[in-house]
């Protein structure tokens, strides 16, 4: 039987996509669920600051997004900033990272 390598590559590619997509979207979901539960009452589901987040940038603002990395967001969540209390000890490092990655997807 003739079996060309493009066919094999296509199968490998499919396997990779099928294996990766659910794990990526699960991580996103965890970040979104946590953000909606812990942050949205102040920062809004869409990242637009409500009264309780007065003084905060809108987290979906393109310029703010440009200026803030996931790492700097991790620091704010962990240590707090101004009137926002830090989540050190109330969220795990992994949860904080998931939330920060999710915040980076807000548009
Ligand atoms: C009780 C309301 C409240 C909650 C809950 C809250 N924040 Fe905040 N957040 C604030 C306020 C107020 C500020 C502005 C602090 C300052 O600069 O004085 C702020 C600032 C921030 C900033 C910095 C924005 C900037 O202007 O650079 C980030 C990022 C942020 N919050 C993310 C989060 C995330 C993620 C969560 C959930 C884990 C969260 N916050 C939960 C009130 C809140």
| Å from CA of 88 to ligand 1 middle | 14
**What domains lie within the chain, and their CATH numbers?**
27-103 (1.10.760.10)
User: Which residue has its alpha carbon closest to ligand 1 atom 40?
Assistant: 39
User: Which residue has its alpha carbon closest to ligand 1 atom 12?
Assistant: 53
**CB half-sphere exposure, 16, CA atoms < 13 A:** 6
| Å from CA of 39 to ligand 1 middle | 7
Lowest-pLDDT range of 4-8, 59-63, 73-77, 81-85: 4-8
Average of per-residue pLDDT across 59-72 = 98
Nearest-angstrom CA–CA distance, 81 and 67: 16
Is the CB of 103 inside a 6 Å radius of any atom of ligand 1? yes
Q: What is the CA radius of gyration of the chain?
A: 19
Rounded to two decimals, the pTM is 0.83
């Amino acid at each position: 039987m003739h079996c060309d390598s493009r066919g094999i590559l296509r199968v490998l590619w499919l396997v990779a996509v099928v294996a990766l997509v659910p794990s990526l979207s699960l991580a996103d979901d965890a970040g979104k669920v946590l953000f909606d539960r812990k942050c949205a009452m102040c920062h809004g589901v869409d990242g637009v600051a409500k009264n309780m987040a007065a003084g905060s940038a809108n987290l979906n603002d393109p310029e703010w997004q440009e200026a803030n990395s996931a790492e700097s967001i991790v620091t704010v969540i962990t240590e707090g900033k101004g009137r926002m209390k830090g989540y050190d000890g109330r969220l795990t490092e992994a949860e904080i990272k998931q939330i920060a990655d999710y915040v980076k997807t807000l548009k």
